[in-house]
Structure 1
Amino acid sequence: MDYTVIETAVKPDKAPDKFCVYKFKGEEYVFCPIRKKLYKAKPEEKVRQWWIYRLKEVYGYSFSQISVELKVIVGSTEAKKRADIVVYMDDKKATPRIFVEVKKPERKDGLEQLKVYLNATGCKLGLWSNGDSPHVYLLRNEPKAGEEEASWRELRNIPAKSEKLADVDNPITRKELEPLTDFLSIIRECEDYIKAHEGTNPFDEIFKLIIAKLYDEKANLKNDNSPAKFRVGVFESPEEARIRIDKLFSQATTRWKGVFQDNESILLTDDSLAYCVSALQKAYLLKSPADILGSAFEVMVNPDMKGDKGQYFTPRHVVKMCIDVLQPKDGESVFDPACGSGGFLIGALDYVYKQIEHDRDNENDIIENKKDYASECVFGIDYDKTIAKVAKAYMLIWGDGRSNIAACDGLNSNNWDDDVLAKFTVGHGKEKKLRQFDIIVSNPPFAGDISSDDTLSQYELAFKIDKNGSRKRLNKIGKEKLFIERCINMLVPGGRMAIVLPRGILKNYSDERIRRYILQHAIVLGVVGLGGNMFKPFTNTKTIVLFLQKRYKEFTSIEEVHLADKEKHIAYCVTEMSGKDKTGKIITDAEGVVLSDLPEITEYLLKNIRFRSEKELKDEYEKIKAIKAEN
């Protein structure tokens, strides 16, 4: 909502040609061209006046066919609240064409009030807005035979003065689609509708529609004038739309095998499908930032379960810091054993894709190179099948190739099926061992302990030396500690790693043996404190990011570690601007950039962290072993 602020020495006494806010003696005012009066510029009044001028300038309606603060009769009484704006068919103001409900910025309510006006008057068109995009353009359809309530459809726009309703039903072309800035509100709208009208799982059904839409964007929108098939026309019946959307979903599941089970279909009723499609059809998902899509999914996927399972999805600016420091290269393998919806993996893809685009000048070569990297070098595991499905879809869609995402317990390789074993192990029989990767980046869950004998038996950290020098297995251990060992074991010698951990790992007396294990197996290059707000609203736990490089071989004593690392520099940083407020809400500037000091910390780390070559690590290891042998 853009407007000009004009300083004035006298109070204005007439409406301006363009919408503006007047500043008089420190107070802000707006002049209403309909009521021909000056009003204090309260937030909601600003939105109202902004729309009054838009209706004239953008849609061609004259001020003489617009009313404000109109009383609406509902049944035999007046509605409790007056209609904010009413646009009539003509200057006589006999027949309303559009009701407009406005709210101050960030308010989300008022849509039901708008529906009351439309139902009471029989008006077909409504507009809801809080001044920020997306605005809601609502179409009221009369109740069907045997039904009492009207049905609702969201349009792409309202018709201009010279247009008929059918004119806003033209096919949607690629150039008309818009990248999303707030995907979550659309997801929530669809979720609420499905909960009110269906007995199916909202996430599963919305996810199917999103896959169908992504397929339409990839397969059918080849140029700016290509018409979208993922849409519902104003005068199209839900049954007609369903045939087309079902076909898109079927084509998507054929192209992107592995995300859905065979013969899976959209379970929504025709009306619910039409409602959700109309809410999604204006978006350009493939041109929307991956973090916009990912964060919406992450909030949706079992939000009440995250705290119990310790699944605190990683904020995207933390992901970017980790990837920018690790600097993955084309051809290097990347792995996340607790990948969630794939935030770190998408971050790695984005980073390497930019390298590929910079290094190559042939468009076909770039496409093939990207596809090869996504299908051959990026791997993930997550225990939650629903979340793993999202990650798998991301990798297939953005990588456009084979997905290396597995839904299984990343800590218990004894239970992996043949497909998972083929991806994440090498060798056969007694020679079989875990596959190793060039880069591991992860934010493993750190809520709850592991007590399963089958799992604990696979880990060195699950055993402790007692006072008598005997090796004794623990009854249970925190899962984040096992993930440390698993990550180090699945890293190649010289491999680079970033892992998010609770801060207590570095300071708790009881975790000294964990710190010893890390130091004997890896070089600690950097530690970044993330503070207590970073993973709100899911937890207040203070966390750190540990940047490591795996040694050539494990040192058997802490004395060898001291000899090897006594001249090495560890970069310590603590964020003072986490990018989140005390409630866990992301803080951004007017352009949507997260207000955080992590970019500054990233720059510091890049200047002060040096990953060693494999030869350097080997020479160092042999030197320390020789010194120990001499002593």
Structure 2
Amino acid sequence: MENTLQIKDNKIYAPLLEKWLVLKPEELVRQTYILRLIDNYGFSPDQMAQELKVSNSQRGQGRAMADIAIWKSKEDKNKRKHASIVVECKAEHLTIREEDYFQGLNYATWAGADFFVTTNLKETKIFKVVKGHIPDRLDEVIDIPNANMITNAKKVDALLKQTKAFTRDEFSKLLFKCHNIIRNNDKLSPEAAFDEISKILFIKIRYERENSKAQVFSQEQFLKDKEAYNRYSSSSSRPFYQQLFENTKEEFKDDDLFDPNESIRIRENSFEAIVKELETYNLSTTSDDVKGIAFEQFLGRTFRGELGQFFTPRTIVDFMVEVLDPQEGEIICDPCCGSGGFLIKAFEYVRAKIEEDIHEEKEKIKSIYYTEEYEKLTESKKEEVDEIVNELFNKLNQELDITNPKSRLRVLSYECIFGTDANPRMSRTAKMNMIMHGDGHGGVHHNDGLLNVNGIFDNRFDVILTNPPFGSRVEKSLKITEADKYKDLDRILKYKERYDVPGNPAYTNALKQISDNIGKPLLSLYKTGTMSSLTEVLFIERCLNLLKPGGRIGIVLPEGVLNNSNLQKIRDFVESKAKIVLITSIPQDVFIASGATVKPSLLFFKKFTEEEVKQYKAIVVSATKTINVKFKPQEEEALTNYKNIETAYNEAAKTLKDINNLKGQKKGNIKLNPKEYDDLLYKVGDLKEKEKEAKKEYKSTIKTIAQEKEIEKKALIKEKFNYEIPIAEVEKAGISTTGAKIDNELEPLAKEFTEYREQNHLWENIINKVEYQIVDDKKMYRIPLSGENKAQEPEIFYN
């Protein structure tokens, strides 16, 4: 048997059936995985079967048939004994739902297997089969036995005990072990050691993504590739492990994650040792929640103290994302993304909505085709119906294929998630963190969050989630320089093609933020820069600028930042641009575990819609006019009092001046009555002092009146532009000062706020929905709905 995929004329060869089949996405996965079972696990084709029929078929699921079955031996297969392993194959890049796992587990249970595998090549999940009853729980394990192990009961039992929780903990421990290898061997600081771990993880992911058979980046493979590299390299060539990093830098160059001169800063033997430790895990196939959560655990412990400011606790992230409820099609940003927590949660949150929608569409299809009439059909007719259903399912599955440029998951990953961080270590960490959680990493950059880059510029975003740095200041001396300009002409052209449209050269204008302000202070870019140089204040304005009209923000800020009397102008600025929809005070304990010392609050704003901008401006104009009329008499009275004294002084001073200017009437030669002249001098001096006092009193009175006018104007504006601001305070937010898990009052609060905002239609301008319509057999339309909830021209989706 030839152990390579054989494909020609839109057909693929199935060696277990010894015939050619129509090339379909799921068939490609199945035949590829069969070769993996042969090459990587050592199974023989004669101990495997394709399309094994099992009993207990249920209406609504089609016919029960296992994609691949594996026996302990050829003899067991021939004697029709129970299979040991059952494999269910799904279309590539499909994120498989729990219901799909249960369906496959049913097959495995009916077949009497020990292990059940579900795979789409990128992601492989393995479960142990609970014997004796239909499964009601999922116990995920680390791996299946290979051909040598499958007949050894003790080794099989050991594998069955290596559950998913074990896998996650082991992976997390391995990352710490690798971290310690670097610290011990290369004497690097914890932060520098973390950087080197990240580089190796990037190398490993690149290798395992590019390998068609999902082969792991092992020490054996490294040594083999190194030998081949050295055989054809000159003596001046860089070491092989450094060359691997150069190739990886090239792969990720568009994201500015690595300095061009950056190299691996550990010894080669340390590199090899880490590769050896990590070779158990294929990062292109390991379940996203295994490697993602393990990496988060690693980050959580690494980012204590100095690096804690970059790590927002997961309980806070979960709460803020649920409050803002991002939808499919909305563009999301974190301009100071740290380790990427907000972006990851938002990606997962929207991805789950897409998966749920796809699942609902599949259920609709099943309800159409798997009726009572289906049960009355002949086997051949059932196969025809199953074929139609599979075709429709396969088309829906393509929506979750991240390599399909038009798929919903691809659009989410590469068009809707953006983030920057000014710290190069953090931007790399966010990128790696997002890869570990499932490819939602297209828009993460190393860049100052206050400056534009890629698609991050004004009026672009529907949702912003961020935890900006607290307490630091932007110095007035900090100028925008030529070094801040984006100079990669190829990428600039690419971004112009992506974002500029006729009549709206959005990206071209975004570049002017820097090019038109070279040499000017960074503070001059922001109106609030004249009020405060605090970074959190500047980021409030930055976020408001980045949002589209009607967009919404969730931001972590120091408690009372909008109530501080010294920052009253900042609150006024915010309230002139957005509605405050929720303020949540949380205990300081939450951030102490991450190294922070300031008590935080979670604030949520909704930027004015265009209609609200007009409404607010009209109210301001009207309120200003009303208040001006009310206080005009007081202002006129104050002015009249001052003018009376000023006039008297001016008249007396003029008389004295005229007398002194008369010829011959200068001092020493006065012909006027000396007493009268002295009285006049005294009068002028007295009036001058009174005029000074009157002027001072007038200014004070006008200032007081202005303050009263402002207070009353604000009150009048709030009266006419009135809305409720919910304020909540929680004492427990899911995490203690030591980082331990405790009660989380944010969870019920999020549900309570969701009910409140739905009742009050806070997000009423948000309607993003995709619907599908089956017109007749094997024909499906995808109908995107516009913001007015009207169907646009249907796009033929499947025919």
TM-score (norm. length: structure 2): 0.46
Task: Describe the shift of the 1:342–1:176 C-alpha distance in structure 2 as closer, same or farther (beyond 3 A).
Answer: closer
1:202 and 2:193 matched: yes
Structure with greater helix share of residues: 2
| Contact residue 534 and residue 578 of structure 1 kept, 8 A | yes
1:533 aligns with 2:589: yes
Q: How does 1:272-283 map to 2 (within 5 A)?
A: 272-283=270-281
2:296: which partner in 1?
294
CA distance in structure 1 between the aligned counterparts of 2:448 and 2:607, rounded to whole angstroms: 24
Corresponding residue number in structure 1 for 2:202: 211
Summarize the alignment of residues 241-320 of structure 1 with structure 2, pairs less than 5 Å apart: 252-253=248-249, 255-257=251-253, 258=255, 259-261=257-259, 266-283=264-281, 285=283, 286-289=286-289, 290-297=292-299, 299-300=301-302, 305-306=306-307, 311-320=309-318
Partner of 2:181: 193
- The answer to whether the 8 Å contact 2:337/2:421 transfers is yes
- Describe the shift of the 1:260–1:234 C-alpha distance in structure 2 as closer, same or farther (beyond 3 A): closer
2:690 aligned partner? none
| Contact 1:438 1:496 (C-alpha < 8 Å) held by counterparts | yes
* Residue of structure 2 in register with 1:380 after alignment: 419
In structure 2, the residue matched to 1:461 is 528
Counterpart of 2:602 in structure 1 is 545
How far the C-alpha of 1:390 sits from its partner, in A, is 1.9
1:480 partnered with 2:536? yes
Structure 1 equivalent of residue 82 of structure 2: none
CA contact (8 A) 1:230 1:245 kept: no
Q: Using a 3 Å threshold, how does the CA distance of structure 1 residues 269 and 300 change in structure 2: closer, same or farther? A: same
Selected match of 2:748 from 594, 600, 611: 600
User: Residues 509 and 403 (structure 1 numbering): CA distance in 2 closer, same or farther, change over 3 Å?
Assistant: same
1:205, 1:235 → 2: CA distance?
A: 17
Partner residue in 2 for 1:577 = 732
Asked whether 1:450 is paired with 2:474, we answer: yes
> For the Cα contact (< 8 Å) 1:294–1:341, is it kept in 2?
no
Q: Note if 1:436 corresponds to 2:492.
A: no
Question: Relative to 1, partners in 2 of residues 1:522 and 1:182: Cα closer, same or farther, differing over 3 Å?
Answer: farther
Per-residue Cα deviation, 1:31-82 (whole angstroms, up to 9, x for no partner): xxxxxxxxxxxxxxxxxxxxxxxxxxxxxxxxxxxxxxxxxxxxxxxxxxxx
Moved more, 534-543 or 492-501: 534-543
1:449 counterpart SS class = coil
Per mean C-alpha deviation after superposition, the further-off stretch among 277-286 and 571-580 is 277-286
Of the candidates 206, 229, 232, which is equivalent to residue 216 of structure 2?
229
RMSD between superposed Cα atoms in Å: 4.0
1:183 to 1:481, Cα distance in 2 relative to 1, 3 A: farther
How far apart, in 2, do the equivalents of 1:348 and 1:213 lie? 26
Distance 1:405 1:560, change over 3 A: farther
CA deviations 1:317-347 (Å, max 9, x no partner) are 2111111121111211111111112111111
Give the deviation of 1:499 after TM superposition: 0.6
The separation in 1 between residues aligned to 2:541 and 2:218, in whole angstroms, is 49
Tell me which of 175, 180, 183 is aligned to 2:168. Answer: 180
Structure 2 CA distance for aligned equivalents of residues 488 and 176 of structure 1 = 42
Kindly state the Cα deviation for residue 486 of structure 1 after the two structures are TM-superposed.
1.1
Larger Rg: 2
Q: CA deviation at 1:265?
A: 5.4
Q: Is the 8 A contact 2:582 2:726 kept in 1?
A: yes
Query: Is contact 2:553-2:604 (8 Å) kept?
Result: yes
Please state which structure has a larger fraction of its residues in strand.
1
Identity between Structure 1 and Structure 2 (%): 28
Q: Report deviation, 1:514.
A: 2.1
Indicate the residue corresponding to 1:620 in structure 2: none
The 2-side partners of 1:209 and 1:186 are apart by 13
Match for 1:337: what amino acid? P
Is residue 288–residue 436 contact of structure 2 (8 Å, CA) maintained in 1? no
Q: TM-score, normalised by structure 1?
A: 0.57
What is the match of residue 740 of structure 2?
586
Give distance in 2, aligned partners of 1:191 and 1:485: 39
Does the 8 Å CA contact 2:468/2:539 hold for their aligned counterparts? Answer: yes
Q: Distance in 1 between matches of 2:356 and 2:242?
A: 39
Gaps of 5+ in 1: 1-133, 135-155, 169-173, 426-433, 465-475, 589-594, 617-631
Deviations 1:361-384 (A, max 9, x none): 522221232122211111112111
State the distance in 1 between where 2:766 and 2:295 align. Answer: 42
Secondary structure at the residue paired with 2:741? coil
Distance 1:456 1:534, change over 3 A: same
Whole-angstrom distance in 2 between the partners of 1:241 and 1:194: 27
1:479 CA drift (Å)? 1.0
CA contact (8 A) 2:198 2:432 kept: no
Instruction: Tell me the matched-pair count.
Output: 409
- Is the alpha carbon distance of 1:217 and 1:353 closer, same or farther for their aligned partners in structure 2, counting shifts above 3 Å? farther
TM-superposed deviation, 1:234? 13
What letter corresponds to residue 273 of structure 2 in structure 1?
Answer: Y
1:532 Cα offset (Å): 1.0
SS of equivalent to 2:216: coil
Match of 1:152 in 2: none
Take 1:300 and 1:242, find their aligned partners in 2: how far apart are those partners?
35
| Superposed displacement of residue 438, structure 1 | 0.8
Does the 8 Å CA contact 2:323/2:754 hold for their aligned counterparts?
A: yes
1:438 partner amino acid:
D
Cα distance change, pair 399–205 in 1 and its aligned pair in 2 (3 A): same
Q: Is the 8 A contact 1:178 1:284 kept in 2?
A: no
Determine the C-alpha separation between the residues in 1 that align with 2:408 and 2:186.
43
Letter in 1 for 2:455: K
Q: SS at 2:586's partner residue?
A: strand
